[in-house]
Amino acid sequence: MILDLSPLLPTYASYAVPIVGRFGIPIAANPYEVSPAMMMCAKGLASGGMLMTGVISKALRPGDLDSTFGDGPLARTALIATLKVTKKEQLLTRTHAVKACIRSGIEVIVRHVRDTGLLLGLKVGKQAATLKAYLVDRHILVGGLDDPGVLRLMLPLTVNNAAIDALPSAVNEFAAREAVA
């Protein structure tokens, strides 16, 4: 049996990476007014599942989907629990507060922040590689991009307050250290 989640989710995205909540909205396609009939999910929604409109779900029969998106009681229960926790803990609303907190604490060295929700590109310039190594040494996971002057942060929706505070603190320590050097 395929679970019709249309009462729980306002819009759908189609066969794309559905970054559930990390943009501060339910589905990354929402701002683009995309409303396709199906969306395949992975980590963001209980490690696998397919969201679809009622029309599509009624057209499918057991066995129409492969095992990855084939449904099951455990996956269904985990998916519904994930959606309930996201709503109860106001995780979508929280993304905006987290982003604001991080942005306000890193301006000492970060020239510009490109962001969509909790996916952040920190434009640092020539110090990017050194700052990245400094942050990684402090167990703050950052990545690089094609632009060597930009660092990438991909914060989880459930990022805790200690981790939120750690980034600006480490960036400011780095800036102070670089000013003395």
Express each pLDDT in 127-177 by its tens digit: 999 999 999 999 998 988 888 999 998 888 888 999 999 999 999 999 998
Residue 52 has what pLDDT?
A: 76
| 72: Cβ contacts below 8 Å, ≥ 6 apart | none
Give me the mean pLDDT over the 5-32 stretch: 57
Backbone angles phi, psi at 152, to 5 degrees: -110, 130
Residue 30 has what pLDDT?
A: 66
Give me the mean pLDDT over the 3-7 stretch: 50
Question: How far apart are alpha carbons 169 and 2 in whole angstroms?
Answer: 47
DSSP 8-class letter at 12: -
What is the domain-level CATH number for residue 121? 3.90.1150.10
Question: How far apart are alpha carbons 44 and 20 in whole angstroms?
Answer: 6
Residue 86 has what pLDDT?
A: 83
The residue count of the chain comes to 181
**Domain end among 69, 88, 107:** 88
**Domain end among 27, 58, 88:** 88
- 139 DSSP β-pair partners: none
Task: Please state, for a pLDDT cut of 70, what percent of the chain lies above it.
Answer: 70
Based on the fold, state whether residues 81 and 105 are members of the same structural domain.
no
Based on the fold, state whether residues 100 and 78 are members of the same structural domain.
no
- 144 DSSP β-pair partners: 151
Based on the fold, state whether residues 62 and 133 are members of the same structural domain.
no
Based on the fold, state whether residues 116 and 174 are members of the same structural domain.
yes
Based on the fold, state whether residues 6 and 83 are members of the same structural domain.
yes
Based on the fold, state whether residues 4 and 63 are members of the same structural domain.
yes
Range of the domain at 78: 1-88
Based on the fold, state whether residues 38 and 116 are members of the same structural domain.
no
For the whole model, what pTM was predicted?
A: 0.68
Based on the fold, state whether residues 82 and 163 are members of the same structural domain.
no
Provide the domain count of the chain: 2
Based on the fold, state whether residues 40 and 64 are members of the same structural domain.
yes
Based on the fold, state whether residues 1 and 82 are members of the same structural domain.
yes
The residue among 74 and 65 whose pLDDT is bigger is: 74
**Domain end among 43, 62, 88:** 88
Based on the fold, state whether residues 70 and 117 are members of the same structural domain.
no
Based on the fold, state whether residues 62 and 102 are members of the same structural domain.
no
